[in-house]
Amino acid sequence: MMACSPVCVGLPSSNCKISPCPEESSSRCRCCFSTMTRLKQYHSQIIRLGLSSDNYAMGRVIKFCALSDSGDLMYALQVFDVMPHPDAFIYNVLIRAHMQRTLARDCILLYSQMLSESVTPNRFTFPSLIKACCTVEEGRQVHAHVLKFGSISDAYSMNSLIHMYVNCERLVEARRVFDKMPHRNVVSWTTLISGYSQWGCVDEAFELFELMHERNSASWNAMMAAFVQNNCFQEAFALFRRMQSENLLLDKYVAATMLSACKGSGALKQGEWIHGYMQKSGIEMDPKLVTAIIDMYCKCGCLDKAFEVFNGLPHKAISSWNAMIGGLALHGKGMAAVELLNEMERRGISPDYITFVNLLNACAHSGLVEEGRHYFRYMTEVHAIAPGSEHYGCMVDLLGRAGLLEEAKELINEMPTSPDASVLGALLGACRIHGNVELGEEIGKRVIQLDPFNSGRYVLLANMYASAGRWAEVGRVRKVMNDRGVNKPAGFSMIELDGVVNEFVAGGRDHPLAEEIYAKVEEMLDGVRTAGYVADTNGVLLHDVEEEERENPFHYHSEKLAIALGLLKTKSGETLRITKNLRICKDCHTVSKLVSQVFDREIIIRDRNRFHHFKGGDCSCNGYW
């Protein structure tokens, strides 16, 4: 370490030091000032000492002004403009400062000026510059300069390149940078693994993860997040168990990822264990993590536990209120959601955009038409929140489910912007429910044009035609789907029993208890037939097959298989919790109601839209699903 230069004389810190690698330290020389007033005093002194052209002394001025929270970037630029020969450090500071303010174009201009002034960039130049690249073409040019100026050995610059290529979905180029790195660190591996997962390349991500030797919690979390993002929940849980076997500590990031896996698969017991571990180990419960816990309990069908966590919070962030209102919406408890909003406002907390999305969704799932109309106006009149497409979508859904199709259509026509596919899709679903083929056909064609690769839009339109017996139109819709290569995602259901998540697909026989499960399905169907069950085959696209053949596929839907396993493994009076990735069909809904009565079980099913609580032959949805 060297003593500070004489320019510090007369300023508060006379024992100022500089580090051998100034750009890696927090400042070029630890600042003797903390405000712009003190900075200007320092600046005036170095001018009087004749050091206004000294890059070291002026670099301190520019760095404080450009990067400090108390600084002034315009002042830094004024100083920079009169410097005769600014060095790489000063350019790097300004590029970094502009990037922090998301002024990407200015970063590129500064770099161009740097080169035109024959100032050689160094390894501290490129990370911020790479972040400033707005297109992959710009990124490739900067990549060439990284190689030209010898920064290939700098992991920070190379990691930034990987990140840039990943964000541009150039995974081959990202992998090429990775493979050519002479020294990779954990960030290198984790960035590429996360990139593969971001774009759905789970196999590639896992292959890379298995090749990784120095793994830390961040790399484990990147791989688990990849599985979760791609709905591979079983794989995420398996990897989590491997991580635990290697005695790695569960941090808040891993906890958040695994809570997402739990809510995605309905794994309540796993979620409870993670929550308990967090409490025992003292992991910091920041608002984001608390919200994840509340959300997990809500989406695993355990509202009581969600409320217990929510009510135990000494200070409730807006995200926690939103999560709780959203949970009530999923469970069809519209009036409870309204009451929670009122409580929120009584405590002086203003609802935000998301609050009203969740609240209107709660109204839609509970048939609260008047309340929905009121709060749609209220959000603007009282809280000055302009409704967005999500709010319009909830209102269209609410009005449509209630049979108010013309009012829903008028609301769409009043939107300040063109309706998106989700808004029109809500009206299409309502037309399907109420059998309005004419309006449904009009809306269906519009929504397919907007969202041509979403299979659900085609299925809704085709099923509506099928219900009306218009089989030629059904064939045309299916042909368009096939011609465009649009595939309907496979339905699957999951049930957690004894801490293990069991997954089923329709007609699947991979489960080790498959023989017993299918026998239980037959017993289950025989039981509900005595209570009046008749298979509902309306809307089946294969209209020209025999009734027995039409009925058979419904018997082995994934949720029926999950219920059968639940009946095998539980006793009378117990609760079955099932998660399905698609909307439950009408036939499975009817069977679930009757099973809850005949076999004395409470069955809680979460489908793509909401929760259904089946008990004693009734469902909590009251037909709003």
Backbone angles phi, psi at 84, to 5 degrees: -70, -40
Neighbours of 386 (CB within 10 A): 9
Give the strand pairing for 500-505 and 575-580: unpaired
- Sign of the Cα pseudo-torsion (476, 481, 483, 489, in order): negative
Binned at pLDDT 50, 70 and 90, residue 8 comes out as very low
pLDDT digits (tens, 9 = 90+) for 582-592: 889 889 999 99
| Beta carbons of 379 and 385 less than 8 angstroms apart | yes
Provide the residue ranges of all domains of the chain, joining segments of one domain with +: 1-86, 492-619
Please tell me the predicted confidence (pLDDT) of residue 10: 33
Please tell me the predicted confidence (pLDDT) of residue 552: 54
Structure tokens at 175: 């992998």
Structure tokens at 11: 């300023």
78 has a pLDDT exceeding 50: yes
What is the DSSP secondary structure assignment for residue 251, as one 8-state letter? -
Could you write out the DSSP letters of every residue in 175-198? HHHHHH-SS--HHHHHHHHHHHHH
Neighbours of 470 (CB within 10 A): 15
- Sign of the Cα pseudo-torsion (573, 578, 584, 585, in order): negative
**% the chain with pLDDT above 90:** 76
Q: Is 280 exposed, middle or buried (0-12, 13-18, 19+ CB in 10 A)?
A: exposed
| Beta carbons of 408 and 419 less than 8 angstroms apart | no
> How many Å apart are CA 539 and CA 544, to the nearest integer?
12
Structure tokens at 83: 């410097």
- Grouping H, G, I as helix, E, B as strand and the rest as coil, residue 603 is strand
Amino acid at residue number 436: N
Start-to-end C-alpha separation, the chain: 70
Please tell me the predicted confidence (pLDDT) of residue 491: 85
548 has a pLDDT exceeding 80: no
230 has a pLDDT exceeding 90: no
- Grouping H, G, I as helix, E, B as strand and the rest as coil, residue 257 is helix
What is the DSSP secondary structure assignment for residue 70, as one 8-state letter? T
pLDDT digits (tens, 9 = 90+) for 277-317: 999 988 888 899 999 999 999 999 999 999 999 999 999 99
11 has a pLDDT exceeding 50: no
Please tell me the predicted confidence (pLDDT) of residue 249: 83
CA-wise closest residue to 426 among 453, 390, 452: 390
Burial 432-442 (b: 16+ CB within 10 A, else e): bbbebbebbbb
The per-residue pLDDT of the chain, averaged, comes to 89
Distance of CA 267 to the CA centre of its chain: 19
CA-wise closest residue to 539 among 403, 427, 401, 435: 435
Backbone angles phi, psi at 297, to 5 degrees: -65, -40
pLDDT digits (tens, 9 = 90+) for 145-186: 999 998 888 999 999 999 999 999 999 999 999 999 988 999
Structure tokens at 491: 């339905």
Neighbours of 75 (CB within 10 A): 18
The mean per-residue pLDDT over the stretch 523-527 comes to: 95
Q: Residue 348: which region, alpha, beta or left (left: phi > 0; alpha: psi -120 to 50)? A: left
13 has a pLDDT exceeding 50: no
pLDDT digits (tens, 9 = 90+) for 439-461: 999 999 999 999 999 998 998 99
> How many Å apart are CA 349 and CA 341, to the nearest integer?
9
Please tell me the predicted confidence (pLDDT) of residue 623: 75
pTM over 0.85: no
| Beta carbons of 115 and 86 less than 8 angstroms apart | no
- Grouping H, G, I as helix, E, B as strand and the rest as coil, residue 230 is coil
Q: Which long-range contacts (CB under 8 A, 24 or more apart) does 510-516 make?
A: 511/561, 511/565, 513/565, 513/568, 516/568
CA-wise closest residue to 51 among 97, 12, 84: 84
Residue 411 CB partners (closer than 8 Å, separation 6+): 392, 395, 396, 399
Please tell me the predicted confidence (pLDDT) of residue 30: 47
The mean per-residue pLDDT over the stretch 360-368 comes to: 95
Binned at pLDDT 50, 70 and 90, residue 553 comes out as low
CA-wise closest residue to 262 among 242, 278, 240: 240
Please tell me the predicted confidence (pLDDT) of residue 215: 85
> How many Å apart are CA 427 and CA 466, to the nearest integer?
18
Please tell me the predicted confidence (pLDDT) of residue 347: 95
The mean per-residue pLDDT over the stretch 176-197 comes to: 92
> How many Å apart are CA 129 and CA 97, to the nearest integer?
11
- Grouping H, G, I as helix, E, B as strand and the rest as coil, residue 252 is helix
> How many Å apart are CA 571 and CA 586, to the nearest integer?
26
Based on C-alpha coordinates, what's the Rg of the chain?
A: 30
